[in-house]
């Protein structure tokens, strides 16, 4: 496991590798040149649009080529995803190249909004990305977890649609188609962010995902800047609208570089158990509502209100799923706690109380001041069974002894296995009943145990000790131990009660 210092050092090495990459440096320089030309050529709109479209295809080509290279390095669903990205880059290259040629041939039709062919290529590419995300698998997920993921994703999609409707739905917006297309890019970028943050198995490293997500944000900012530019677009708006081409092309190139540097170059990591993105979508919709309220009641207002209501319903459904998840988790934790408590207090082989639990119960009984007796039981000849028949037979014999003890003692008595072939019984009674219980146990042991088709006798020596007012746990068990060894010394297979003379 890599510590914080090692991870920081590794990220520093990645940053240096990315900063020295010639293709990324070319894309950055190419974008800066376009930005400089935007400022130098302003306000010549025809020249600005020509630069805008002529500088697009090389960046689209980087997207296509690098995605294809990553596709060749990956396997499984990740490989299929990057193959789709390579196809998307190819579509963007063809559409933008056609639009650049069209702009040169017909300057009077110049606009940052593409024509029908460019828009078709762009829309098909976006649709392909969405489909690739939809079909990308979610391993090791329950049905409820998948439902929660789609509710979160739907919330963000509705939020993006609300913002798109707010800024593109007015009758005085001459660029409705372009605005909606760009809003679609923002929605896709948002969906990609959900995929990266929630799925835990995103098809790209987060360093590669950041520029691609930033491209959606930059594209949205470009749309809004253009929306509030009442006259001609300024050079800053052109540059902001051009910047996403660099960012979306940088993602695959970063992923290609990381594929040669990282042992796990894609998005395999622990997924977060929660997401704040749906609440961000709700805040975004409320912001859109505040923006359009001064314009009065119209179709945009009703669309935003409807979208906000749908977002609230989706968030409520998500909370209901989370409530069921939490309830199920609490139930599993309680079951686990019960299982751990049982493992801590009971013997795993016989199911009887273990030494720790037995000592605790003896201490509680002594503290209560009521009559207490203890039987200490040691099997005779158990080692011979282990040596001649194997440990499995020995374990079967121990289990049979535990069953006989449970069947012989009363409900208020506590049988226990202290370890090995040593057993004990706690009785909330005096020595007289303890001696009768010892006699019943020996009588039950006289019936042989069937192990692998053989009748195996059970022999034991039992020490009986009744508690005195001065006894504690250790002294009481010591007295029972002394009585048990006295029984063994007297011929085994019998019980003896502790008396001072045995010491």
3-state secondary structure 243-257: HHHHHHHHHHHHHHH
Token pair 């110049």: residue: 110
Query: Is residue 65 scored above 90 in pLDDT?
Result: yes
Query: Is residue 189 scored above 60 in pLDDT?
Result: no
CA 446/CA 443 separation, integer angstroms: 5
Query: Is residue 54 scored above 90 in pLDDT?
Result: yes
CA 332/CA 260 separation, integer angstroms: 42
| 53-81 mean pLDDT | 91
- Position with higher pLDDT, 374 vs 301: 374
| 281-295 mean pLDDT | 80
Choose the weakest-confidence range: 196-210, 254-268, 457-471. Answer: 196-210
Residue 171 banded pLDDT, cuts 50, 70, 90: very low
Q: Averaging pLDDT over each range in 88-92, 167-171, 489-493, which range is the top one?
A: 88-92
Active site residue 472: no
Query: Is residue 165 scored above 50 in pLDDT?
Result: yes
Could you tell me the strand order of the sheet in which 414-419 lies?
414-419, 422-427, 373-380, 459-466, 495-497
- Position with higher pLDDT, 192 vs 25: 25
CA 45/CA 43 separation, integer angstroms: 6
- Position with higher pLDDT, 77 vs 278: 77
Query: Is residue 324 scored above 90 in pLDDT?
Result: no
Identify whether the C-beta of residue 29 lies closer than 8 Å to the C-beta of residue 246: no
User: pTM of the predicted model, to two decimals?
Assistant: 0.58
Given the residues 380, 421, 471, 481, select the one marked as catalytic: 421
Identify whether the C-beta of residue 103 lies closer than 8 Å to the C-beta of residue 117: no
Identify whether the C-beta of residue 306 lies closer than 8 Å to the C-beta of residue 285: no
User: How many other C-beta atoms are found inside a 10 Å radius of the C-beta of residue 23?
Assistant: 15
Summarised one tens digit per residue, pLDDT across range 85-136 is 999 999 999 999 999 998 888 766 667 777 788 888 988 887 788 777 767 7
Per-residue pLDDT at 1: 44
Identify whether the C-beta of residue 408 lies closer than 8 Å to the C-beta of residue 444: yes
Angle between helix 76-105 and helix 116-135 axes, rounded to 10 deg: 170
> Percent of the chain having pLDDT more than 70?
83
Per-residue pLDDT at 230: 47
CA 62/CA 100 separation, integer angstroms: 17
The token pair at 94 is 């063809």
């Amino acid at each position: 496991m890599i510590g914080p210092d090692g991870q920081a050092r590794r990220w520093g090495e990645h940053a240096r590798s990315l900063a020295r990459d010639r293709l990324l440096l070319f894309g950055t320089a190419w974008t800066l040149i376009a930005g400089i030309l935007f400022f130098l050529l302003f306000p010549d709109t025809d020249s600005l649009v020509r630069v805008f479209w002529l500088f697009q295809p090389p960046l689209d080509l980087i997207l296509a080529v690098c995605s294809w290279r990553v596709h060749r390095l990956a396997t499984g669903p990740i490989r299929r995803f990057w193959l789709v990205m390579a196809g998307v880059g190819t579509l963007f290259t063809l559409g933008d190249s056609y639009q650049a040629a069209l702009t040169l041939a017909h300057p009077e039709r110049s606009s940052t909004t593409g024509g029908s062919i460019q828009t078709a290529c762009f829309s098909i590419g976006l649709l392909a990305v969405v489909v690739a995300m939809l079909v990308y698998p979610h391993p090791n997920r329950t049905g409820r977890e998948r439902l929660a993921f789609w509710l979160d994703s739907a919330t963000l999609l509705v939020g993006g649609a609300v913002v798109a409707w707010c800024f593109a739905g007015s009758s005085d917006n001459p660029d409705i188609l372009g605005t909606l297309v760009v809003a679609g890019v923002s929605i896709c970028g948002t969906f990609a962010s959900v995929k990266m943050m929630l799925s835990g198995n995103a098809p790209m490293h987060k360093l590669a995902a950041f520029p691609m997500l930033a491209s959606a944000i930059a594209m949205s900012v470009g749309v809004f800047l253009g929306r509030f530019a009442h006259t001609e677009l300024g050079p800053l708006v052109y540059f902001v609208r051009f910047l996403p081409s660099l960012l979306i092309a940088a993602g695959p190139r970063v992923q290609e570089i990381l594929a040669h540097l990282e042992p796990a170059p894609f998005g395999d990591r622990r997924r977060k158990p929660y997401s704040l993105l749906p609440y961000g979508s709700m805040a975004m919709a409320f912001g859109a509502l505040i923006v359009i309220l001064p314009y009065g009641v119209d179709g945009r207002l009703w669309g935003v209100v409807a979208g906000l209501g749908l977002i609230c319903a989706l968030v409520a459904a998500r909370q209901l799923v989370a409530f069921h998840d939490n309830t199920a988790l609490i139930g599993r934790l309680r079951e686990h706690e019960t299982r751990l408590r049982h493992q801590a207090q009971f013997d795993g082989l016989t199911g009887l109380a273990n030494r720790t639990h037995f000592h605790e119960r003896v201490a509680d009984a002594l503290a209560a001041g009521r009559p207490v007796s203890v039987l200490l039981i040691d099997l005779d000849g158990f080692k011979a069974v282990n040596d001649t028949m194997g440990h499995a037979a020995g374990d079967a014999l121990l289990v049979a002894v535990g069953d006989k003890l449970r069947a012989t003692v009363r409900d208020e008595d506590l049988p226990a296995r202290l370890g090995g072939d040593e057993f004990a019984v706690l009785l909330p009674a005096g020595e007289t009943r303890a001696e009768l219980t010892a006699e019943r146990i020996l009588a039950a042991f006289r019936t042989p145990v069937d192990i692998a088709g053989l009748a195996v006798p059970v022999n034991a020596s039992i020490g009986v000790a009744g508690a005195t007012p001065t006894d504690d746990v250790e002294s009481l068990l010591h007295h029972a131990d002394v009585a048990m060894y006295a029984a063994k010394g007297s011929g085994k297979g019998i019980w003896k009660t502790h008396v001072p003379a045995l010491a």
